Chain A
Amino acid sequence: MAGVNGDGAAGRDGETPPTAAASVALDGVGKTYSGDGEGGSVGALDDVSFSVADGEFVCLVGPSGCGKTTLFRVVAGLTEATDGRVLLDGTEVTGPTTDMGVVFQEYHLFPWLTVEENVGFGLERSDRSAAEREARVDEMLDLVGLTEFRGAYPKSLSGGMKQRVAIARSLAVDPDLLLMDEPFGAVDAQTREMLQRELLDVWESTGKTVLFVTHDVAEAVTLADRVVVMAADPGRVREVVDVDVERPRDRGDAAFAEYVGRVRELIGAHP
């Protein structure tokens, strides 16, 4: 089992005044796995470059095996790239940092902590006072509408509620970037649409930069300012699509359907 990086660049959220958002730039990011045979391998990446501006909402879509999750882990600093680099506001990402709030598909709440303890987990490691931490937890619980469940353990929550807790937990430390890997992939369709609306509300009210990985094209077109479409074998950027539709977006709208069709075509098309 691996130890934890003793990473100097991270964990400084308390020292600098909270910034609203940050820009992310991927510069020629590549990932090869040792022992790769011919024809690449699942999750490998080749020369991935794109950037996300301050306060922008970007979705990353692609066929399965295109390395979406690898890319997500590289940006989060959880996996090391073999080529290229990731810049967060111009600073190279060398390991996990509290400047990024990370949300996973499977929630990964700490089951031994209550809802409010989960939300406060990152704050414990900041230099905020107890009163400030408590106020921040209250604010986050209010933001995701879980104030009345603050004392509950994750085991008694539904999938949608768990993901709200995970989002609140990642936002509590006031990261500059929210990084999400198929966060709504494990909940039912109805809950998913509700969570999408809530996420847009949170995004609009906090002004965070969001990089959101999904395999659901309609979800990407619903949420994103821009959609980065990836191709597989090896994973690379195929095209970046600007979604020029007013929010809230209506899935029945002709322009919406057109974007969905175009992105689907890009995913399905072979090079």
Chain B
Amino acid sequence: MATETASRVDEDGAFAGVGLGDGRRLLRGAAGVVGFLLVWHAVSLTQDPFVLPSPVAVAGAFAGELASGDMTTALYQSVRHWIPGTVAGTGLGVAAGVAFAWSGLLDDLTAPLVRTLRPVPPLALIGFAIAWFGINDWGAAFIIAVGAFWINFYAAYGAVEGVSEDLLDVGRTLGVRGDLDAVRSIVLPASLPGIMTGIRTGLGRCWMPVVASEIFGVPGVGREIIRASNNLRVDRAIAYILVLSLMYLLVDVAFRAVERRALAWRA
């Protein structure tokens, strides 16, 4: 079936022009999804619903949760710590990465500390999060921020280290004076591609600590997934997992659009 579709696209291709590659990919992707759903459905017929519910049951659960408003509530609750955690972690990570990579003094001062703290998984800090902030949005945001911080710190640090000395030399001959001027007019724009990649990676990875921190009782999508699993409502659990995927996709597509605009100058 799939090959037949593809060959028909080929014939149309003579007239379709530029969009052909994208169109074919889209069709193949759709075929893949349909195939996956069919296999899933077939397997689910042989299993109990608490082991593997059918895609139809999951769709039903999704619609039900959406209609009852529980899903939007949970999503709102998660976003309430996802946004501040991601924004704070990203901002601080980029700022620290740029500053430490640019300034030899700061780098020397912080290197041992950075190497000690870097390997600590954000989730290991959950005890501190609870002690310092409590089981609430702030505690969850803290865990998320720690995760986002390191991703962005290293992305920004590497990007700044990779900034061409030659561009800085050119800047100096054109009157760039002082660290602030150099960072603002050369270092930041030159390292923007690397920084943007870090931000994008962080945006995706930060859903992991969202779910993890909700295991400890902060309400949100992750909490709903765990609650549904505990009640053997696997259809509900999958419905909430799907919401996370959709959120990730939405944010990623939006950020990619921003990235394309901001980096239009790139070859």
Contact = CB atoms under 8 A, between A and B. Distances in A.
Contacts of A13: 175
Interface in B169-201: 169-179, 181-182, 185-186, 189-190, 192
B15 interface: no
Interface string A89-127: 000000111101110101010111110000001100110
A111 B177 contact: no
Contact of A155 (B166, B172, B182, B266): B266
Interface in B247-267: 264-267
B175 A10 contact: yes
Nearest to B161: A1
B160 interface: yes
A44 interface: no
Interface residues of A, number: 38
A13 B174 CA distance: 10
A198 to B, nearest CB: 21
B189 to A, nearest CB: 4
Contacts of A7: 177
A173 interface: yes
A5 B174 contact: no
B137 to A, nearest CB: 37
Contacts of A98: 173-175
Interface string A62-102: 00000000000000111000000000000000011110111
Contact of B170 (A11, A102, A153): A102
- Most A CB atoms within 10 A — which of B101, B160, B175, B264? B175
Contacts of B178: 4, 6
B200 to A, nearest CB: 18
Chain B at the A interface: SS class: helix
B245 interface: no
Contact of A108 (B164, B181, B185, B267): B164
B97 to A, nearest CB: 13
B167 interface: yes
B174 A111 contact: no
Chain A at the B interface: SS class: loop
Given A111-B265, A111-B267, A3 B175 contact: no
Contacts of A5: 172, 177
B104 A1 contact: yes
A214 B167 CA distance: 21
B169 A96 contact: yes
A155 to B, nearest CB: 4
B241 interface: no
A163 interface: no
A153 B265 contact: yes
Nearest to B174: A122
Interface in B118-160: 160
Contacts of A76: 169, 173
Given A110-B167, A111-B265, A78 B186 contact: no
Interface of B: 101-104, 160-161, 163-179, 181-182, 185-186, 189-190, 192, 264-267
Given A100-B173, A102-B170, 18 more contacts: A1-B101, A4-B177, A6-B178, A10-B175, A11-B175, A77-B172, A78-B169, A97-B173, A108-B164, A110-B167, A110-B189, A111-B265, A112-B189, A113-B265, A121-B174, A125-B174, A125-B181, A169-B174
Interface of A: 1-7, 10-11, 13, 76-78, 95-98, 100-102, 104, 106, 108, 110-114, 121-122, 125-126, 153-155, 169-170, 173
10 contacts: A1-B161, A3-B103, A4-B179, A96-B169, A96-B173, A108-B169, A121-B174, A126-B175, A153-B265, A155-B267
